[in-house]
Amino acid sequence: MIQESDVKGQAKDILDETLDREAVLVLTRISEEMQLLFIAHPDPTAAKVKEIVAGFFLENGKSEQFIDDWIKTSEDYGQLRGLSEHDQPKAMLSDFGVFRFMSFLKDKGLTDDQITIVLTGAVQQASEQQDSAQG
């Protein structure tokens, strides 16, 4: 089994090897934008999250069909995870953030395996930061 510090180290190595400074700044911006969304909408409604997601995708040239499919997939995934109707909007907003990160990394040429390592490392880092903030 891979140790948490190994995954974080691998994630850092992948990002250092594959992304230039500008790309790191874009990832930082995505992270900051998602944090602001969560701060502005700590307990979002499904309608609000759909509005946020649709607005973003429309601004980025995605079709109505793409948006509808994305929302449906996220809703289905939330149900598969057994989330309550109340928790699904937060999960969808979180899925949106992950999707943005994954899409950006994919556009930068990372493989699916590399993206998985980077996202796993990011989740571990966020968990550690949250634990230390609460402790």
Angle between the N-to-C axes of helices 88-107 and 21-40, in degrees from 0 to 180, rounded to the nearest 10: 170
pTM beyond 0.85: the answer is: no
- The residue type at 20: D
pLDDT of residue 11: 80
Whether residue 37 contacts residue 30, with contact meaning beta carbons closer than 8 Å, is answered with no
Per-residue pLDDT of the chain (135 residues; tens, 9 = 90+): 445 568 778 888 888 888 888 888 888 899 899 999 999 999 999 999 999 999 999 999 999 999 999 999 999 999 999 999 999 999 999 999 989 989 999 998 999 998 888 888 877 776 666 666 665
pLDDT of residue 24: 83
14: left (phi over 0), alpha (psi -120 to 50) or beta: alpha
Question: Domain locations in the chain?
Answer: 4-134
For 32, 33, 100, the CA distances from 28, given in Å and listed in that order, are 6, 9, 12
